[in-house]
Structure 1
Amino acid sequence: MSQKPRKLQRVSKACDFCNRRSIKCSRSDDNLGRCQNCADFDVDCTFDRPAKRRGVKAGTRVNARESPSSKTASEHDLAGRVVAPDRASRSSVSRSSTFPESGSRPSLTGDPWSSFNTGWSTAEGYDDDGALRNSWKAFAIASDRQIRNLVQVYFEIVYPIFPLFHKQSFIASINNKEHLTNQGLFASTMAVCSLVSSRARDGALYSNRWHREELLEPPSEAFYAAAKDALPRDLAAAKGMNYMRACAILAIASIQNGHIKNMQKYSGIYHTLTSMEGLHDEKLWPKDISPIETEERRRLFWSIYTLDIYSCIVWGGVVRYREAHSLVRYPVELNDEFITHQGYTRPPISPATGPSGPLDSRPPVSWMHGWNFTTDLYRILEHVVDGTRRRFSSANGTQEVWSLFSPANMSETTVMERVLSMYAALPSQFRETPPTTGDIGKDLFGFQSANIQATLQLLRMVLLSAEEIGVDRKCDVAGELLSVFSKVPVEYLKAISSPLLHHLGGIGYILGSVMEGSLSDASYQRVRTLLLEMADLLHRLETGLHRAAGASERLRSQVDRIDGYMRNSRLVNLPAAPPPPNGSAILMNIKPEPAVPPGPYAPTHPLGSTSTIGDQMLQFQLPPELLSDWPWPLDNSHSEGFLPLAFE
């Protein structure tokens, strides 16, 4: 009779290293008696943590009615064990591939491991969780090649809008592995990797130097958790610019992933740290910082100032730092290679020559000139937000005082006339958006032009939200906004990524306000055409952008349902909505022809002109149930914000 094979004995207790990472602790043939993970990463295999008794503590009662789904204060690991909330967030990293497969682990004899057991730099850190630090350092060492690649991609798709690092010095610090010994730099580096990885996953890559799939492992969530766990629990210990920068980038990454509460959380921590560090006033900065850090601080301050205004418009809330309270200069208009630890240098002048001598001896224009102009637009937006918010101030029961100090609000036409004159004075590089080239030196200008256009349209939408305008005017504005976005090469729009959806949300809100009001045949036909153009634009953007996936089809379905209602109730023959443009039209950036159906439903007067008397008599209103699942909120009476741009 054959003997049953003996069961392998299970490890009764995980070692300290595996316990802190919430991963399986398995035996190995290591000569030192270490487990497999400790042997792979060449660390001591210890069991120094105090033992805890299993089971329920004496004197406590468990509520039998409590269901597992109601336990919001805990989560479960892979084995089904309940873990504490702070540990649960760490175990989620191991569930989503904390380390590469064993075949791709780095050599244990290489230089990267020499820094594994060293402490963080005490200049910016604190020492409260050595095992956690070591596990994340092991993660960073195992992901070294991926981190280098993501940092390079950062300077292609994120840096043009959020230039939070000096390119040459940041890349050098990563190559020298300074992030393994400096906790603040580690936090900001992991945040960069999380943001870039999520944008790459959403289709923001536009050059042929990178393959999307190669940048997605480890996933964005792993880097996000690493950055989060590197932030000190005691914010008083989070000294230095790197912690501020890490929180700022985590807030941007949260917007990218649609986690708005996390965006508010890390924005709040950022503003707390900037108040403690005095980032809003250059006189409070350390006296011994280099020109590189001076410029990084200026870029950080104004970058997150614009993000603060943007989030106030989209999700409501308050403006935390106002321009009148800030004593921070704009960044110098120089490329990074002309800013060093020793000082600033001017780019060489290579004037073009003509028959009569030099044509132009001025220094070349820096892309930062366009970036600073965008900041100007957000400063204008801050005051427009104030003026618009005052419409609601009478509802809080307080006496009006602002009129004692401020003149009457200027109209949209007056403000835009002044703004467009500023725009016309810009160099031509910032008023034209050529296709991407893959040369970041040239594409930086295209990014500024695209961002300026998006911000101009946001300013216009916010200005119009404070005015009562008719259906024709709303359609004119929505059509002009769609026309602007359709002319920007799609690669720039995809790189701007999720935040752009909220700009489009403003257009959807404008068109939705028309749809819920009184309509005529002509006005409905015009809105219908604009909605289909918007669906085409979303179709161009949603490839890879998981938050917009299916948005164009949902919009087309909504148009089809309204068309069906029109056929049944008004006996009008309407064709189905045309299909989205084919792939070649998308690649060539061809704007589709307006979908104006033939036959008796075509308008009998030019679009945009005043409706005829007969047309005005044929007013109708769509039933509310047809607009119940409109992608953008229509009822703004109880909204904290005044322009609900959020994409739902």
Structure 2
Amino acid sequence: MSQKPRKLQRVSKACDFCNRRSIKCGKSEDPLGRCQNCADFDVPCTYDRPAKRRGVKAGVKVNMRETPAPGVSGDPTPIGRVPAPERASGSSASRSSMYQETASQPSLTGDPWTSFNTGWSTTEGYDDDGALRNSWKAFAISSDQQIRNLVQVYFEIVYPIFPLFHKQSFIERINNQEHLRNQGLFASTMAVCALVSGRARDGALYSTRWRREELIEPPSEAFYAAAKDSFPRDLALAKGFNYMRACAILAIASIQNGQIKNLQKYSGMYHTLTTMEGLHDEKLWPKDIGTIETEERRRLFWSIYTLDIYASIVWGGIIRYREAHSLVRYPSEVDDEFITPHGYGLPPVSPDSSTLSHGDTPIVSRQPVSWMHGWNFTTDLYRILEHVVDGTRRRFSSANGTTEVWSLFSPASMSEPTVMERVHSMYAALPPQFRETPPTTGDMSKDLFGFQSANIQATLQLLRMVLLSAEEIGVDRKCDVAGELLSVFSKVPVEYLKAISSPLLHHLGGIGYILGSVMEGSLSDASYQRVRTLLLEMADLLHRLETGLHRSAGASQRLRSQVDRIDGYMRTSRLVNFSVPPPPPNGASSIQVNIKPEAMVPQTVFPQSDPTPVGASVGDQMMQFQLPPELLTNWPWPLDNSHSEGFLPLAFE
């Protein structure tokens, strides 16, 4: 009798790296004896975490003073032991030659392993994650040149919308490898790399300086995991400005990667830390921070204020910080090169000083306009959006069974024409740099203004969509609005739209929601043809944006396929109606739906022998009909708005 095959035994203990990430620890043929994951990431494969006995009674606490110090008898493997340099910088078959070279290159400050052995300058007390953090620092050392490149790209494609770092000082700190000695800075740096790598993968690069293939390895997910693992397990120990900034960037990166639950997770962590640190009130800030950190704090606060409102509109949820509760000034309208640790400098007055206008009277500015002026204007629009969102939600407040009290304080309702009239007057008062969007040049001193103009346009359209969502408008009005919104986006150079990347797609999702809601209602021949044309225009715009997009690739094709399905149904219905006309009620002439063949998609071929309806009049052609529900279930955006209390669910699936 044949023996039963021997049952494979699982690995008795995973290495520190795999254990912390909760992933399978498997053997490999690595010459250094590392597991497959450690070999792939080119990090040391260690087993330095202390063994924990099972079955310890609940409530038993270990006295920190009784914990054996590293190297004491009974603990042969020191906690947080740093492996020898040659082990962590060894070659691996799964790593490219670039990382093999950077791992052995000396840093600007000398031997990189000097800073590696220094340890983190953060929390006190016993730390059982030391080996894991050392592994991520080894990963950062081997990816040193890549990190520097990604930081440079950050200032080209992310910084114009989220200027969370002072350019000159941040680049200097990275070049000096300060992120290897400061855990909070390490977390925020890894978060920057995760976001930039994700956007580069999704086609956000527009400068000829960079090649996409050179910026996406290691992948965004590796840097994301490094940032996540750099947080103390006890969030109360994540003190300092850099942890707040890391949470904010991870929330933005989560949008980029389509991980909306992680967006909510890191947004929540950000608001927890900012509440503990008092970021919402400048009087609570540390007294010893300099000019640079003061400006960075202001930019962070208002950046995530806008992100919070944006997320509330797109995915539902509450707005955590209100402008009325915030005592934080707008960032100074000064370029980074004139912000120093010692104060603010002034740019030189040039003959080409900007000309501003106030009414019909031109005013010549003595100083050039900073791009931050346009950035602050976008924040103004989001402050208006905060109140529009409040007004929209009040329509649904009676559904929770509470007594209505808001009308005591805000009796007047906000109409779309009234609000937009005021907003357009504010927009008209902007310098011309922010009302025009020229093509990208590769010169950031010019492109920064183009980014602000593009972002202002996107925010204006978002404001208009939210205002209209609170009003009952007819089919023609919805089509007018959708057509105007598409026209605005189609005029913005695509390079800016791609750099804004995934968040912009959700603006377009709002347009799709408007058109989809029209398709769900009663249609006439004319209204169907108009919506169909707008949907195909939207598919064209999506196709321009989604080239290489990791999460939403294929949305344009799904939209075209949806239109094709509806066209097929319309064609079939037309043939059935013509071949077997229903009996006219009470002797009246039969009612037919007349679809013009030339308006159909090119792939749809109609028989040339179809008879022309007899007795069809203009009134017959305008007869209302409704598409069956099964044809309206495959839009690339959801039409079920129950999760967001009537807001536009703008997210693409």
**C-alpha distance in 2, partners of 1:451/1:125?**
46
The aligned runs of 1:98-247 (5 Å cut-off) are: 103-104=100-101, 106-107=103-104, 111-122=111-122, 127-247=127-247
Q: Which amino acid aligns with 1:106?
A: A
**C-alpha distance in 1, partners of 2:636/2:42?**
53
Residue 636 of structure 1 and its aligned partner are, at CA, apart by 2.4
Q: Which moved more, 1:625-634 or 1:477-486?
A: 625-634
- Could you list the per-position Cα deviations for residues 210-239 of structure 1 after superposition, in whole angstroms to 9, with x for gaps in the alignment? 000000111000000000000111111111
Instruction: Give the equivalent residue in structure 1 for 2:640.
Output: 635
Q: Secondary structure at the match of 1:117?
A: helix
Residue 618 of structure 1 and its aligned partner are, at CA, apart by 1.1
CA contact (8 A) 1:306 1:375 kept: yes
CA contact (8 A) 2:187 2:230 kept: yes
User: When the two structures are aligned, how many residues end up with a matched partner?
Assistant: 564
Instruction: Give the equivalent residue in structure 2 for 1:377.
Output: 381
- Could you list the per-position Cα deviations for residues 66-110 of structure 1 after superposition, in whole angstroms to 9, with x for gaps in the alignment? xxxxxxxxxxxxxxxxxxxxxxxxxxxxxx999656744622776
**C-alpha distance in 1, partners of 2:574/2:436?**
46
Instruction: Give the equivalent residue in structure 2 for 1:574.
Output: 597
Instruction: Give the equivalent residue in structure 2 for 1:508.
Output: 512
User: Are residues 473 and 126 of structure 1, via their aligned partners in 2, closer, same or farther at CA, if it must alter by over 3 Å?
Assistant: farther
Instruction: Give the equivalent residue in structure 1 for 2:291.
Output: 291
**C-alpha distance in 2, partners of 1:125/1:242?**
21
User: Are residues 474 and 44 of structure 1, via their aligned partners in 2, closer, same or farther at CA, if it must alter by over 3 Å?
Assistant: closer
Residue 599 of structure 1 and its aligned partner are, at CA, apart by 14
**C-alpha distance in 2, partners of 1:123/1:522?**
67
Q: Specify every segment of 5 or more residues in structure 2 that has no aligned partner in the other structure, as ranges.
A: 1-10, 56-91, 354-362, 576-594, 611-616
Instruction: Give the equivalent residue in structure 2 for 1:310.
Output: 310
Q: Which amino acid aligns with 1:328?
A: V
**C-alpha distance in 1, partners of 2:311/2:42?**
45
2:548 to 534, 544, 547: 544
Residue 12 of structure 1 and its aligned partner are, at CA, apart by 9.8
**C-alpha distance in 2, partners of 1:318/1:182?**
33
User: Are residues 124 and 319 of structure 1, via their aligned partners in 2, closer, same or farther at CA, if it must alter by over 3 Å?
Assistant: farther
- Could you list the per-position Cα deviations for residues 545-590 of structure 1 after superposition, in whole angstroms to 9, with x for gaps in the alignment? 12221111111111111111112212445355259xxxxxxxxxxx
User: Are residues 415 and 219 of structure 1, via their aligned partners in 2, closer, same or farther at CA, if it must alter by over 3 Å?
Assistant: same
**C-alpha distance in 1, partners of 2:469/2:647?**
8
Residue 295 of structure 1 and its aligned partner are, at CA, apart by 0.2
**C-alpha distance in 2, partners of 1:47/1:167?**
39
Q: Tell me, yes or no, if structure 1 residue 386 matches structure 2 residue 390.
A: yes
Q: Which amino acid aligns with 1:499?
A: P
Q: Specify every segment of 5 or more residues in structure 1 that has no aligned partner in the other structure, as ranges.
A: 1-10, 58-95, 354-358, 580-597, 601-611
Q: Tell me, yes or no, if structure 1 residue 495 matches structure 2 residue 499.
A: yes
Instruction: Give the equivalent residue in structure 1 for 2:273.
Output: 273
Residue 508 of structure 1 and its aligned partner are, at CA, apart by 0.6
Q: Which amino acid aligns with 1:386?
A: D
Residue 112 of structure 1 and its aligned partner are, at CA, apart by 1.4
**C-alpha distance in 2, partners of 1:281/1:222?**
35
Instruction: Give the equivalent residue in structure 1 for 2:487.
Output: 483
Q: Secondary structure at the match of 2:118?
A: coil
**C-alpha distance in 1, partners of 2:41/2:484?**
58
Instruction: Give the equivalent residue in structure 1 for 2:400.
Output: 396
User: Are residues 132 and 164 of structure 1, via their aligned partners in 2, closer, same or farther at CA, if it must alter by over 3 Å?
Assistant: same
User: Are residues 615 and 189 of structure 1, via their aligned partners in 2, closer, same or farther at CA, if it must alter by over 3 Å?
Assistant: farther
The aligned runs of 1:29-44 (5 Å cut-off) are: none
TM-score in terms of structure 2 length: 0.80
The aligned runs of 1:417-432 (5 Å cut-off) are: 417-432=421-436
Residue 39 of structure 1 and its aligned partner are, at CA, apart by 13
Q: Secondary structure at the match of 1:644?
A: coil
TM-score in terms of structure 1 length: 0.81
**C-alpha distance in 2, partners of 1:27/1:202?**
32
Instruction: Give the equivalent residue in structure 2 for 1:462.
Output: 466
Instruction: Give the equivalent residue in structure 1 for 2:538.
Output: 534
**C-alpha distance in 1, partners of 2:493/2:546?**
14
CA contact (8 A) 2:16 2:46 kept: yes
CA contact (8 A) 1:97 1:218 kept: no
User: Are residues 41 and 188 of structure 1, via their aligned partners in 2, closer, same or farther at CA, if it must alter by over 3 Å?
Assistant: closer
**C-alpha distance in 2, partners of 1:534/1:128?**
52
- Could you list the per-position Cα deviations for residues 274-325 of structure 1 after superposition, in whole angstroms to 9, with x for gaps in the alignment? 0000000000000110000000000000000000000000000000000000
Residue 331 of structure 1 and its aligned partner are, at CA, apart by 0.1
User: Are residues 528 and 234 of structure 1, via their aligned partners in 2, closer, same or farther at CA, if it must alter by over 3 Å?
Assistant: same
CA contact (8 A) 1:316 1:642 kept: yes
1:620 to 609, 612, 625: 625
Q: Secondary structure at the match of 1:116?
A: helix
2:437 to 416, 428, 433: 433
Q: Tell me, yes or no, if structure 1 residue 559 matches structure 2 residue 563.
A: yes
Residue 346 of structure 1 and its aligned partner are, at CA, apart by 1.0
- Could you list the per-position Cα deviations for residues 473-525 of structure 1 after superposition, in whole angstroms to 9, with x for gaps in the alignment? 00000000000000000000000000111100110110011111111111111
**C-alpha distance in 1, partners of 2:156/2:425?**
31
- Could you list the per-position Cα deviations for residues 325-349 of structure 1 after superposition, in whole angstroms to 9, with x for gaps in the alignment? 0000000000000000000011110
User: Are residues 531 and 183 of structure 1, via their aligned partners in 2, closer, same or farther at CA, if it must alter by over 3 Å?
Assistant: same
